Amino acid sequence: LKRRHRKLRVLRSRDLGPGTGLLKAKEVLRDPRAWLLAVDDDHAYHPELLMNLLRFAAGTPGSAVGSHGWLALNKDAATQAINAAGPALARNLRGWDVAAGPILCN
């Protein structure tokens, strides 16, 4: 990926919880026009996620854009988790034939 996009810079840091990647980027970014994409390394992402986020960001300058996903569990575990989670969290859980883990879609 970095070979095709020479200006792409991948920053890695110790995971200290939510927002760690953004804090690391804040230390390094100097150009206010730079675009920042923060993702988790333990999630599966839609192949067009980056392109779609960049397109949307280009059309809404000065805004933060994002995407959402869900946690895919095997059907038995999903049923149990959905019943325990309550309606606010249950919408982020899916029962599949195969447990796939976190999936981010756009």
Q: Which of 60, 78, 62, 80 is nearest to 70 (CA)?
A: 78
List pLDDT tens digits, range 78-92. Answer: 788 888 877 777 777
CB atoms within 10 A of CB 72: 18
Q: What is the pLDDT of residue 61?
A: 81
Contact 75, 90 (CB under 8 A): no
Q: Both tokens of residue 4? A: 């095709």
**Distance set, CA 82 to CA 16, 22, 73, 76, 88 (Å):** 28, 31, 10, 10, 10
The band of 66, judged by pLDDT with boundaries at 50, 70 and 90, is: confident
